[in-house]
A and B are shown apart, each in its own frame.
Chain A
Amino acid sequence: AQSVTQLGSHVSVSEGALVLLRCNYSSSVPPYLFWYVQYPNQGLQLLLKYTTGATLVKGINGFEAEFKKSETSFHLTKPSAHMSDAAEYFCAVSDMPDKIIFGKGTRLHILP
């Protein structure tokens, strides 16, 4: 069965510092992997997704994630944090075309 584990429900980084949000997944077949961002009182917006091909995926707002099959990981990174990056981030996995399983989310705080 699919599952997603996001390490750390809250992560704080200084403005300009590296952002690293961790995600590990479990899937019985090659998965499709996603990162979504949610700003307060809004819906979720797709940041990036991995389907097949290149394992380093670039998304919007300068974020990228790398699919590492051997580590069953799909960590999200951004070289330099901005105040506007403060939000909640969800990792998700799908190995079926009609259902996606979400992690519990990581709230990212940016320190001035």
Chain B
Amino acid sequence: SQTIHQWPATLVQPVGSPLSLECTVEGTSNPNLYWYRQAAGRGLQLLFYSVGIGQISSEVPQNLSASRPQDRQFILSSKKLLLSDSGFYLCASNRVANYGYTFGSGTRLTVV
């Protein structure tokens, strides 16, 4: 079965600072990978997804970017954080042609 590792678990960053959140997957190869953001009372917002190395689809224009340098590694980045970037960030994975996601444990980002 798949396991998703996300770190750090919590992060407090000042406005204008850079961001890098990493997600790695074990137990599967060639997965689809996803970044979601969860803001209070707003459900899950899909930010980016990737079907392969170097292939990134952006769902919502914003201050963030994503990269997939290796098959089982997915990185969420920002050059300059905004207050509105605060939230709970979740990485998810599903095997190609297999329905349902496995989620990581999330990163709580607070921009101050």
Contacts and interface: CB of A to CB of B under 8 A. Distances in A.
Interface of A: 9, 32, 34, 36, 41-46, 49, 51, 90, 94, 97-100, 102-105
Interface residues of B, number: 26
Contacts of A44: 44, 90, 92, 101, 103
B100 A45 contact: no
Contacts of A97: 96-99
A41 B49 contact: no
B99 A105 contact: no
B32 interface: yes
Given A41-B106, A43-B90, A44-B90, A100 B42 contact: no
Nearest to B10: A41
Contacts, number: 54
Chain A CB within 10 Å — which of B94, B98, B101, B108 has the most? Answer: B101
18 contacts: A9-B41, A41-B106, A42-B105, A43-B105, A45-B103, A46-B100, A46-B101, A90-B44, A94-B99, A97-B96, A97-B98, A98-B49, A98-B51, A98-B94, A99-B46, A100-B94, A100-B100, A104-B43
B52 to A, nearest CB: 11
B90 A102 contact: no
Interface of B: 4, 6, 32, 41-44, 46, 49, 51, 88, 90, 92, 94, 96-106, 108
A29 B108 CA distance: 36
